[in-house]
Structure formats: C-alpha cells, structure tokens
Amino acid sequence: LPLAPDTTWIARLAETRLNSADRLLRVKTTRRAVYEAARAEYRPDEADEVILLNERGEVCEGTITSIFLDDGTGILRTPPISCGLLAGVLRTELICRRQARVGRLALADLDAGTLYIGNSLRGLIRANLVRN
C-alpha cells in the first residue's frame, strides 16, 4: 500500500557492504542474505530502512528500496546499476519519465540534499538519514 504523502522514514547506514562486481545484485533474485544482514544491524524501532554502500563507499540501495536524492536541480539523482544494485521498477519508471537521472552518490551528497527512498509497492518516501 502506498504510504501517506507526509510519511518520513528513518534510514540508517549498514556496515554490510555490497560488491559492485557481483552481477547478481543487478537482477531480482531470492538471494537476500546481504540485505537481511544489513537489516539485522538495527532493531525495527531504530530504522524503517537500511541503506547499503558498495566497497568504494558509494550509495547503492536500501534493503527494500531504491535511493533518490533531490539535489535542488528539479530532477532526482539515483545511483547507476554499475555500483551494484537492482534497477527497481519505481527507479526505472522515474528515469523513463525524466523525473530521475543516473548519477553516483557519495555519503556527503546525501547531507547536501533531500533523501528519498522508494519502491513500486510503497512509492516515493521522504527519508531522514540518521548516523550512528
């Protein structure tokens, strides 16, 4: 179910890292161990979503969401598949509608803009990144 428009989720960073060379990350599979490990780093009341970085420290995706940054340009920025992430239905739709464009995201970028996360089931959700 889509969430209320004013919903804001708490996002946290995983210690668990994705390997950008792992081509299976780009395909939806039942192999979820890395996402489950990241999710397990926090209690449910500590985070609505957990964001994973790759081995280079680039922002990739959440455990169940794609990542989007509003950097003030009017077009959301979302990480490239080559960072090690799933294309995602919502992500693909927003790119096709020219509401999002592909661009690498560093952690510092997330501090300089407005973070959104989302998937086709829940839509786009505003998120506050809480650092440990």
Query: pLDDT digits over 73-86, tens only?
Result: 999 999 999 998 98
Q: Given this model, what pLDDT does residue 25 score?
A: 59
Length of the chain: 132
Is 15 within a domain? yes
Q: Which two tokens stand for residue 76?
A: 């959301």
For residue 31, tell me if it sits in a domain: yes
* Residue 1 resides in a domain: no
Domain that holds residue 63: 8-129
- Determine, yes or no, domain membership for 3: no
Total domains present in the chain = 1
Q: What stretch of H or E contains 15?
A: strand 8-18
Please check the confidence at residue 27 and state whether its pLDDT lies above 60. no
What is the CATH classification number for the domain harbouring 88? 3.20.10.10
Q: Which residues contact 16 (CB under 8 A, 6 or more apart)?
A: 34, 37, 38, 41, 52
**Burial state string for 90-115 with b = 16 or more CB within 10 A and e = fewer than 16:** bbeebbeeeebeeeebeeebbeebeb
- On whether residue 58 sits in a domain, the answer given is yes
Q: Is residue 48 part of a domain?
A: yes
Q: For 3-29, what is the mean pLDDT?
A: 81
Entry pTM: 0.91
The answer to whether residue 103 is domain-embedded is: yes
**Does residue 114 belong to any structural domain of this protein?**
yes
Which band of pLDDT confidence, cut at 50, 70 and 90, is reported for residue 8? very high
